[in-house]
Amino acid sequence: MEYRIEKDTMGEMQVPADRYWAAQTQRSYQNFQIGDEVMPREITRAFGVLKKAAALANYALGKLPEEKKNAICAACDEVISGALNSHFPLVVWQTGSGTQSNMNANEVIANRGNELAGAKILHPNDDINKSQSSNDTFPTAMHIAAVMAIEDNLFPAMDKLIATLQRLEKENEGIVKSGRTHLQDAVPIAFSQEISGWRNMIEKTKAQLMLALGGLKELALGGTAVGTGLNAPKGFAEEVAKQVSVLTGKAFVTAENKYHALTAKDELVFAHGALKALACNLMKIANDVRWLASGPRDGLGEIFIPENEPGSSIMPGKVNPTQCESMTMVAVQVMANDVAVGMGASQGNFELNVFMPVIIYNFLQSVRLLADGITSFEKNCITGIKANKEKMKHNLYNSLMLVTALNPYIGYENAAKTAKKAYKENISLKEACVALGFLTAEKFDEVFRPEEMAYPQK
């Protein structure tokens, strides 16, 4: 491999000749050989956005000449597109402020910008990092990346799942089945009503995420090192937030209190709490689906789900609810990530939080897993759900909890006696009720209408 010599304030470093990074990136690359978790590409892209926005803001405020602005913007466009991803090698397990990833961006943009300009006109610190500090750029990159991941990747997946559940509700109207509480038989419920519960779980958590986006759209940029804004011109914070909004198409604003923006990570904790709530709801939905599809002969068997692949290497013909299992594993990972996000956010000391890389790594992994998991779950499982009407009807009429409909006519205690006699003697509720003398056979048939029990208000 060929090398070139790059310098920083600590001296000279050998850097691979075909890489745009420089001395500070190389030091981090060599000093933190920890794990294989590279800084998320969402962060790399966010740095491209914020560095371009900073250049445009500095130019608008008369702090950067046009030639430099143009070179920076051209290099940033390549960072944003992902064309320079291989020039961002640093791992998550680095300095807790993300300083080295900020310098990685500064160095890559400076060297690529100089190459595009055909002259060495850009300096990583003096030009690319002008009016900034790692302490305000990294939290800004975190918020940009979080908002874009949620709005552009997660929300479309959630909307598709909601639409599919709405379709299933309509298709299954009027189909009544046995409800279940405590994993035990309960009073009847329409299958469409059960599905509506699933649908509303996704809608509710989307609303919670939308509420959390307000805090995530506040940017720390302009606070520089400790929140005072030292070395940033007046109006820079507002102008750079405006430029980020233009570049992303999303309404970002400058954070009202930069001291809070640098040291606190509560907006990310709050937003990840909504991600955890979504994971909890998806765990419940996936478990419901695989319980209802259990069998095919010795389980509940009330729904059919798509058969996607063989389920066993030894049991021929076995097919398993693999999409449900995948979805629940994603949910477990997101719940675990919430612990790391919360613990990391609790470690803000004085004017800076120094757990930012691990916080955003876990946050973005949660969003990515949820978006991908929901897409797969909807496409390969939920969309193909079919009601097993015969099994639903059989289970419904076999349920002893239908006796609840008799409460207004024979009272709770007599209804309990009826259910217990039917269960003990393995006879129908009608046979038990008539045998006990609580109702005539004709009166029983008049008041005992299981399908109507799912719509008591009609």
Catalytic residue list: 182, 312
Structure tokens at 405: 């409909």
What secondary structure, in 3-state letters, does the chain show? Answer: CCEEEEEECCEEEEEECCCCCCHHHHHHHHHCCCCCCECCHHHHHHHHHHHHHHHHHHHHCCCCCHHHHHHHHHHHHHHHHCCCHHHCCCECCCCCCCHHHHHHHHHHHHHHHHHHHCCCCCCHHHHHCCCCCHHHHHHHHHHHHHHHHHHHHHHHHHHHHHHHHHHHHHHCCCCEEEEEECCEEEEEEEHHHHHHHHHHHHHHHHHHHHHHHHHHCEECCCCCCCCCCCCCCCCHHHHHHHHHHHHHCCCCEECCCHHHHHHCCHHHHHHHHHHHHHHHHHHHHHHHHHHHCCCCCCCCCCEECCCCCCCCCCCCCCCCCHHHHHHHHHHHHHHHHHHHHHHHHCCEECCEECCHHHHHHHHHHHHHHHHHHHHHHHHHCHHHCEECHHHHHHHHHHCHHHHHHHHHHHCHHHHHHHHHHHHHHCCCHHHHHHHCCCCCHHHHHHHCCHHHHHCCCC
Cα separations in angstroms, 425 against 50, 396, 417, 421, 433: 74, 19, 12, 6, 12
The helix-helix angle for 322-345 and 356-380 (nearest 10°) equals: 160
Cα separations in angstroms, 451 against 194, 222, 237: 15, 63, 63
Cα separations in angstroms, 258 against 83, 140, 255, 263, 293: 32, 11, 6, 9, 52
